[in-house]
Structure 1
Amino acid sequence: MKKAASILFHRTALVGLLLVLQVAILVVVMARFASYFIYFYLFCVVVSILVVLWIVNARTDPGYKIAWIVPILLAPVFGGLVYLLSGGNQLSVRMRRRMEGMDRRLTEVLSDGYKADILEEQYGADAVNQSRYLERYAHCPLCVNTDAKYYPLGDDVFADMLEALRGAKRYIFLEYFIIDRGLFWNSILDILEEKARAGVDVRVIYDDVGCLYTLPKNYPRELEARGIRCRVFNRFIPVLSVRLNNRDHRKFCIVDGHTAFTGGINLADEYINQRQRYGHWKDSAIRVTGEGAWSMTVMFLTMWEYICGGEEDYNSYRPSVLPPIPADRPLGYVQPYTDSPLDGEPVGETVYLNLISKARRYVYITTPYLIISDSVNTALCNAAKSGVDVRIMTPHIPDKKIIFEVTRAHYEPLLEAGVRIYEYTPGFVHGKNFAVDDKYATVGSINMDYRSMFLHFEDGVWLCGAPAVLDVKRDFLDTLAVCQEITLAQCRERSMLRRLLRAVLRVFAPLM
C-alpha cells in the first residue's frame, strides 16, 4: 500500500495527471462549444500561420525550424499552440533582465583577465581566434597558471572529488542536472553536512526536470535543514506550459575557488558504475586547479543570482592563495566556458565547429548522442574529405532507444564522406570530448545534439597545449579496442522499413 501511494504521489505521476487533465479540459470545452468550432479552428489556423512566420524569422538553426514548421502545418489546430507552450526560448521581461545581468556580471568580473593574444606566438592565429571568440561571446577568459587533470571514467574522479570536498575551508558550490541518492551522492552529502556544521558556505543547484524521477519535491527543505543552501533551477509546472527546454545541464563541483570539476558525470551511481543500467558506463571528467577554477566559480555565482535575484559580492569569494603547481609540469592554457540558450549565441556548437574546421591531422570525438545540425554535418564531412582523420565514438547500448535510432540515422552520410564511426560495445558512452591535432581538446557537458547546442545551459573546458589534451586523445585510442567500427555496408543493409523510420526521425530530430 505504501509503495502504491509513493508511486501515486511521485512528482512524475502528478505531472502526468496535470497534463492529462489539461487535455481533458480542452476536449470538454470543444465538445461544449461544438457549434463554435469553426471559429476556434480559424483562430488556431491564424495563430499557426503567425507562429510559422515567427519561426522562419527566428535566429535559430534551420533544422530546428523545419522540425517545428512541419507538424504545425500538418496540424494547424494544435500545432501553433503547442509551439507557444513548449517550443521556443521566449523570456519574460523579468527573466530577460536577469539573463542580461548574468552576461554583465561575467564581463565585469572576468574581463580583466582577457589575454587571448598570448597564444599567437606558440599556437598561431587559429588558437587566438578560438580563445578570443570565447572571451567575446561567452565572456570567459583564457587562463594560465592552471592545471587540468583528465579522468577517463567517472569511477576515477570519485575519490579525488571527495578528497577536494573534505579539504574545503570557505565554500563548496555544486550545480548538476541530475542528483540521485546512492553511494555517490550520499558520500558527498555526508561531507557537505560536516562542512556546513563547520561554517563552510555550502550551496547546491539542481535542475527540476533532471531530478524529476530522482528527488522529492521538498528535497530543498531537507538540504536546508542540514545547513545546505539549495535552489532548484527552472521548476517544471505543467499548467498552461509543458516547456522542457532551457534546462540547467551544467556540471560543477567547486571548492574554495581554486579547484573545480566538470565533465559528463552527474551525481548518481550509474556515473561511477555502482549501478549498471546500460552496461558499462563510460563517462569523463576534468579537474581544473588554479586560475581556471575561479572562472567556474563566477559561472556558478551568476547562475545563483539568476535563480535568486540580488547580487553577490564576487570579490569575497576570490581565492587569496592558489594551490602550488609542480614547476616541472607544463601547463598549457585552459579556458572554461559556459553556454546559454537565451542569448542567441550558440557557443557550444561554435566551439565544436571551430575545432573541426581548423583540424589538420585528426579530430577524435566522443558523444552519447549524434543528432547534429547541417552545419556540423557539413564540417565533419568536409574535414574527412580533406584528408583529416575524423573519428566519432558513440554508445552501442543506448539509454533511449528512439534517440539511438536518430543517432544511427546520421551515420550514413558521414561514412560516405570518410568519417569513421565506432560504437562502444561494453555499454553506454556519456563523455563529451574532442581531441584535435595534439594541440586542442574540450571536455564538458555539451552533447552533440540540438538540446545541448541550442536549448540548454551548458559548460565546457577548452584546452590548448595542456598535457590533458594528450590524455583525452590516449583515452579515445585506448577505448577503440573495445569498440565495433560501423561500416557503410552495415548501414545500407537495414530494412526498407527501418530506413524509412530513420528518415522520418531525422526530420524531427531537433525536437528530441
Structure 2
Amino acid sequence: MESRAKETAKKTAKKGKNGIVKLIFSRIFIFALLIFLQLLVLFYFFWHVNEQFKIFYDFIRIITVFLVLYIVNEKKSDPTMKMIWSIVILIIPIFGALLYLFVKFQPTSVLLRKRLEVINHRSDNYLEYKTDIKDKLQKDDPLIENLGEYIYKYSGCPPYENSKITYFASGEEKYDYLIKKLKEAKSFIFLEYFIIEEGEVWNSVLEIIKQKVKEGVEVRVIYDGMCSLTKLPMGYFKELREYGIKAKSFNPMRPFLSTHQNNRDHRKNLVIDGTIAFTGGINLADEYMNLKERFGYWKDTAVMIEGEAAKSFTLLFLQMWNVDEEIIGDYNKYLDVDCPSLPDTSGYIIGYGDEPFDDEKVGEQVYLSLINTAKKYVHIITPYLVIDNVMMEALTFAAKRGVDVKIIMPGIPDKAYAYCLARTYYEELIKNGVEIYEFTPGFTHAKQFVVDDDKATVGTINLDYRSLYLHFECGCLMYKNKEISLIEDDFEKTLQKSKKITLEDCRNRSALYKLCGSILKMIAPLM
C-alpha cells in the first residue's frame, strides 16, 4: 500500500515537472517573456530619464498639466480612461506622458484606422434601407426605427423583413444545423471566428469545406491571430490555402509592445451563399459544443439568420477581409443574391457590427437603447461584467423605475480575476434593484439581451471594456420575431439552474477577495 502511494506520488511529481517544462517552452510563455523583457527595458529607460532630468521636474509637471487638460477635453474618449490616464500622468509625469504618447500614436493603429475609413466609405451604399420598411417601423415603434437608423448610419446594416431567425440554446443545437447548412452550400462560404481550435468540431467543418472547394464553392476563412499562440499551429492559414481555401489570420500576435494587439477580431460570423448567416457566442472549438468539459457545463447561444438579413453579415465579413488587401474588391457578387420569399416569417432583423477605430460604440449603444426603452423587463446573460458609469446608471435606473432587470453570470468562471472584478459591481447593482444570478452548473458564455417580449439581441459582445471598446464585434437585433419568446423561455430555464446573489453574499466575501477586486477595478478598462 505504501509503495503504491510512493509510486503515485512519483508519477504526479513527474507529470508536474513535464507540465512546467512544457509551459516554459510553449509559445505563449516565450511571447509573455519577450513582452516582459521589453517592459523592463522601457521602465529602466523612463527611470533613467527621471533621474537625469530632476532639475526640470517642475517644468515637466507644468507640461503634464497641459497634457492632462488635453486628455480631459478630448471629445470622444471614454471618461474612465480619461481618469486613469490623468492619474498616471500626474503621479509619474515623464513615464505617464511618454507612455500616453506611445499608446496614442501607434503607427499600426493609425494606419488601420485610415484603412477602415476607406473600406467603410466604399461600402456605404451596398445595402439599402428600404423606404417601406422604414415607414412600417416608424408606425410600429419610432424608437426602434431610430435605433435602426443609427445602426444603418454607423454600421451600414439596415433593418430587414423577409428573414427568419432560428435560436440555438446551446452549442450542440447550433453544431447540428451548421454541419447541415455547410453541406448544402452552392456558391460561397465565409467563416470568421475569434477561436478555431483543432478537435472534433473543427475537423468536421474542415472536411466539409475541403470537399466544397473541390465542388467549386468559394471558401474563405478568417481567424483571430491570438489562436496561433495556443489553439493552432503557427501559420496555419498556409495549410488551409493548400486545400484551396482562402484563409488569413487577423492581426497575428507578435512579441513586440504595441496597443494594436488589443484589437482582436472577436466576431463569430458564418455566411453561406449570402442567404444564411450564423452569429452568437459560439466559436469553432469542442468545449463550445460540450464535447469536452471546461468550467462545468458550457452554456452558450447563437442564432441562424435566413433571408435578406444575412446580407448584413456578408458585408461585415467582406469589410474585415479587405482590411489587409491591396485592392478592395466589388462586393456585389456576394451581396446581389436572390432571397426567395420565406414562409412563416415575422418582425424585423437588424444585423450590426462594431469596430474599435470609428469612435462609435455601436454595441454599447444597442444595449443602452434596449435598457433605456424597456417597460417590463430586461433579461441578460453575459460571461463578464466590467461596466462603466453609463451602463451602471442605465441598469440601476431601469430597476428603480420598476423594470425587472436580471443578469445571469457564470457559476464556474473561466478567468478567476475577471470573476473577482465582476463581483465588485454586484453590491451596487443589487442595492438598486438589479437581480444577479450565477449559473451553478458551469460557465455562461452567451451574450444576449431579451426585452419586453418583443426585442432581443444575440451576438458576440460581452458586458466588458474589451468587447465594448477594443474588439471587432457583431450582433443580431430582433424586433417582433416569433423566436424572441424562445429566447425568453431559455432565459427562464437558465434562471432555474442559477443561484440568486444577495447583499449578504457580497458582504460575506473575505477582505482579501474584496481588496483584490478593488485593485482590479482601478485598471478595469485595461483588462
TM-score, structure 2 as length reference: 0.89
- The equivalent residue for 1:379 is 394
Please list, as runs of the form range in 1=range in 2, the aligned pairs for 1:291-306 lying within 5 A after superposition. 291-306=308-323
What is the CA distance between 1:8 and its match in structure 2? 5.8
Give the letter aligned to residue 225 of structure 2: D
SS at match of 1:337: strand
Please list, as runs of the form range in 1=range in 2, the aligned pairs for 1:450-465 lying within 5 A after superposition. 450-465=465-480
Is 1:357 the counterpart of 2:375? The answer is: no
Between 375-384 and 35-44, report the one with greater CA deviation. 35-44
- The equivalent residue for 2:164 is 147
Q: 1:470 aligns with which of 476, 485, 488?
A: 485
SS at match of 2:499: strand
* Contact 1:173–1:203 (Cα < 8 Å) also in 2: yes
- The equivalent residue for 2:8 is none
Distance in structure 2 (CA, Å) of the matches to 1:51 and 1:162: 54
Is 1:128 the counterpart of 2:128? The answer is: no
Is 1:182 the counterpart of 2:196? The answer is: no
Is 1:203 the counterpart of 2:220? The answer is: yes
- The equivalent residue for 2:180 is 163
What is the CA distance between 1:439 and its match in structure 2? 0.9
Give the letter aligned to residue 321 of structure 1: D
Is 1:20 the counterpart of 2:36? The answer is: yes
What is the CA distance between 1:163 and its match in structure 2? 1.0
Is 1:250 the counterpart of 2:304? The answer is: no
* Contact 2:280–2:458 (Cα < 8 Å) also in 1: yes
Q: 1:212 aligns with which of 221, 229, 242?
A: 229
What is the CA distance between 1:209 and its match in structure 2? 2.4
Give the letter aligned to residue 318 of structure 2: L
What is the CA distance between 1:246 and its match in structure 2? 1.7
Give the letter aligned to residue 321 of structure 2: W
RMSD over aligned Cα, in angstroms? 2.8
1:197-253 CA-to-partner distances (Å, cap 9, x unmatched) read 222111111111254211222111111111111112122323342543221111101
| Structure-2 change in CA distance of 1:26 and 1:40 (3 Å) | farther
SS at match of 1:186: helix
| Structure-2 change in CA distance of 1:433 and 1:35 (3 Å) | closer
| Structure-2 change in CA distance of 1:315 and 1:242 (3 Å) | closer
What is the CA distance between 1:44 and its match in structure 2? 8.4
* Contact 1:105–1:302 (Cα < 8 Å) also in 2: no
* Contact 1:130–1:354 (Cα < 8 Å) also in 2: yes
Please list, as runs of the form range in 1=range in 2, the aligned pairs for 1:32-431 lying within 5 A after superposition. 36=52, 38=54, 52-58=68-74, 59-86=76-103, 94-113=111-130, 115-121=133-139, 123-241=140-258, 243-318=260-335, 320-322=337-339, 325=342, 327=343, 329-431=344-446
| Structure-2 change in CA distance of 1:438 and 1:318 (3 Å) | same
Give the letter aligned to residue 125 of structure 2: E
Between 364-373 and 70-79, report the one with greater CA deviation. 70-79
- The equivalent residue for 2:12 is none
Runs of 5+ unmatched residues, structure 1: none
| Structure-2 change in CA distance of 1:384 and 1:228 (3 Å) | same
SS at match of 1:365: strand
1:9-30 CA-to-partner distances (Å, cap 9, x unmatched) read 6432332232233245447768
Give the letter aligned to residue 254 of structure 1: V
Distance in structure 2 (CA, Å) of the matches to 1:32 and 1:134: 49
Distance in structure 1 (CA, Å) of the matches to 2:240 and 2:25: 21
Between 130-139 and 54-63, report the one with greater CA deviation. 54-63
| Structure-2 change in CA distance of 1:91 and 1:351 (3 Å) | farther
- The equivalent residue for 2:13 is none
Q: How many residues are paired up?
A: 509
1:108-128 CA-to-partner distances (Å, cap 9, x unmatched) read 20135464332122x322221
Give the letter aligned to residue 489 of structure 2: R
* Contact 1:86–1:244 (Cα < 8 Å) also in 2: no
1:386-419 CA-to-partner distances (Å, cap 9, x unmatched) read 1111111110111111110111111111111111
Distance in structure 2 (CA, Å) of the matches to 1:28 and 1:404: 33
* Contact 1:47–1:81 (Cα < 8 Å) also in 2: no
| Structure-2 change in CA distance of 1:312 and 1:31 (3 Å) | closer
What is the CA distance between 1:6 and its match in structure 2? 7.2
* Contact 1:363–1:388 (Cα < 8 Å) also in 2: yes
Q: 1:437 aligns with which of 449, 452, 467?
A: 452
Give the letter aligned to residue 460 of structure 1: G
SS at match of 1:467: coil
Give the letter aligned to residue 429 of structure 1: T
| Structure-2 change in CA distance of 1:92 and 1:268 (3 Å) | closer
Distance in structure 1 (CA, Å) of the matches to 2:459 and 2:262: 19
Between 490-499 and 133-142, report the one with greater CA deviation. 490-499
Distance in structure 2 (CA, Å) of the matches to 1:369 and 1:152: 19
| Structure-2 change in CA distance of 1:421 and 1:7 (3 Å) | closer
SS at match of 1:336: strand
Distance in structure 2 (CA, Å) of the matches to 1:34 and 1:376: 39
* Contact 1:361–1:389 (Cα < 8 Å) also in 2: yes
Distance in structure 2 (CA, Å) of the matches to 1:380 and 1:347: 18
Identity of aligned residues (%): 43
* Contact 1:11–1:216 (Cα < 8 Å) also in 2: no
TM-score, structure 1 as length reference: 0.92
Give the letter aligned to residue 72 of structure 2: V
What is the CA distance between 1:134 and its match in structure 2? 1.0
Distance in structure 1 (CA, Å) of the matches to 2:383 and 2:135: 34
Give the letter aligned to residue 120 of structure 1: Q
* Contact 1:433–1:442 (Cα < 8 Å) also in 2: yes
- The equivalent residue for 1:480 is 495
* Contact 2:268–2:280 (Cα < 8 Å) also in 1: yes
* Contact 2:384–2:463 (Cα < 8 Å) also in 1: yes
- The equivalent residue for 1:492 is 507
* Contact 2:129–2:152 (Cα < 8 Å) also in 1: no
Please tell me whether Structure 1 or Structure 2 has the larger radius of gyration of its CA atoms.
Answer: 2
| Structure-2 change in CA distance of 1:199 and 1:10 (3 Å) | farther
SS at match of 2:456: strand
